[in-house]
Amino acid sequence: MSGTNTDVVVVGAGNAALCAALAAREQGASVLVLEWAPKELRGGNSRFTGGMVRFVYENLDDLVRVVPDLDEDEKINTDFGTYSRDQFFEDMGRITQYRADPDLVTTMIDNSLDTMVWMQQKGVRFYPAYGHQAFKVDGRFKFWGGLTVQVSGGGPGLVDQLCAIAEREGIEIIYGARGTALIEEEGVVKGVVVRQGGKTWEARAKSVVLACGGFESNSEWRTRYLGPGWDVAKVRGTRFNMGDGIRMALDIGAMPHGNWSGAHAVGWDRNAPDFGDLKVGDGFQKHSYPFGIMVNARGERFVDEGADFRNYTYAKYGHEVLHQPEQFAWQVFDDKVVHLLRDEYRIREVTKVTANTLEELAQRLEGVDSAGFMRMITEYNAAVQTDVPFNPTIKDGRGTVGLSVPKTNWANPLDTPPYVAFQITCGLTFTFGGLNITRQAQVLDAAGSVIPGLYAAGELVGGLFYFNYPGGTGLTSGAVFGRISGLQAAENAMIAGGAG
């Protein structure tokens, strides 16, 4: 193939990229999608996600617009709560220490519901995430933490649905096609240089959308920007997110933006492979730690497991695990809370030990100082405020007293056998640093001016997340800015010479 000419070229084939492609096509633009991965691994990190999506909904009617298949029994027997615009703003501010770009945050939040409805109308199916985000209280399911909806089929389902819709709407997706450079003429982006099957060709276009992920798969960049030790972190998702989109844009003068030393990193099974396994998906994650304790090789607790709902701590606690001796920890639970553990604790591919006594458990925790563990358990059990009621659906204030590392909520003495523990390490999801864009998803250069013809969406956008991350916001950001970038790219294509 010597080259192609189209209205809009989209680099990447995950959630953000495909939303961009669909939005551009909706405006009448011809669209070409370039995906470095082979077809069976298409979709970038989106394919590996659990498919949880955070968005504003003020009432049940808003939720039904996104999940029209809700039946009457679900409506009656479930407390879905609400998640207001103000709550979303507060979560984004608090979680990012108020560093998040206010323009990007405003754009994401204000477009979140409409974008979800748009995706649903395109053919993406959503359902309530009972197995991940609800507990049964007095006979009714109760959702908590502002995260209610999941894509049908999780990440693989999301990618397959979007790809099927794209193909049905006449969007061409080329696999094994790696974008290596942007074509720039007189300051205007005119396409992408592509490497495919050992050959190089040009994908010429009136607009280019970069949506091919961050740099978490690039061990050299991880060490350069995140710091020492990050080269040994496991990557939860695709091996194809090498930072290509960011590099191509920086090469023509784009402005770097956001938290380049930060990343979304979680507790991940210690014996998981170095990159994501599509057969297991996000099942290697272990996110029920608020109901137990986490201990390191010295047998010591090192974080406040109950500082907040897991939605607001899980994406930073992977960092803490990476910084422990030998980069591992054990999550420990007793039988009182086992029924609260999320679905991922019940998969076959899990590093797990059980015991009928704490002394026996201490001996079975591989790599842990058993004497240190027993000292810690004795102190921890004595410090729990057992007079405060335990309630997993709220921040219940059932904490500890007098410990150097407190537990603020959901503290229970470990005193009910059998005991169970799961070994974890750090699982890196995506990096926070990236490109600076406008509210219209236009990429800015180092002087703060728009680079004509260039747009960006998804994980390669910087400025939204700092230090931490509210669960389910990545797919929201990708979809919102993907849709915006596609609309703007199509409009630019029409101005530049007409769509076709």
Which pLDDT belongs to residue 134? Answer: 81
Closest C-alpha among 481, 472, 492 to residue 66: 472
CA distance 492 to 116: 24
Write down the residue that tokens 């380049």 correspond to.
Answer: 260
Which pLDDT belongs to residue 499? Answer: 42
Which pLDDT belongs to residue 500? Answer: 41
What is the pLDDT averaged over residues 362-367? 98
> Are the beta carbons of 302 and 324 closer than 8 angstroms?
yes
Give CATH for domain 272-427. Answer: 3.90.700.10
Q: pLDDT tens digits for 296-307?
A: 999 999 999 999
Q: What is the dihedral of CA 410, 412, 418, 419, to 10 degrees?
A: 70
Q: pLDDT tens digits for 274-297?
A: 999 999 988 999 999 999 999 999
What is the pLDDT averaged over residues 438-467? 98
Share of the chain above pLDDT 70, in %: 99
Rounded to 5°, the CA angle 161-165-169 comes to 170
CA distance 145 to 394: 9
> Amino acid identity of 422?
F
Question: Any idea where the domains of the chain sit in the sequence?
Answer: 3-261+432-497, 272-427
Q: pLDDT tens digits for 467-487?
A: 999 999 999 999 999 999 999
What is the pLDDT averaged over residues 423-448? 97
- Residue 427 token pair: 């699982």
Residues linked to residue 330 through DSSP beta bridges, in sequence order: 295, 423
Architecture of domain 3-261+432-497: 3-Layer(bba) Sandwich (3.50)
Which pLDDT belongs to residue 2? Answer: 53
Binning the chain into helix, strand and coil, the percentages to the nearest 5 are: 35, 25, 40
> Are the beta carbons of 185 and 208 closer than 8 angstroms?
no
Closest C-alpha among 61, 50, 166 to residue 113: 61
Q: pLDDT tens digits for 183-216?
A: 999 999 999 999 999 999 999 999 999 999 999 9
> Are the beta carbons of 251 and 230 closer than 8 angstroms?
no
Report residue 86's pLDDT band, with 50, 70 and 90 as the boundaries: very high
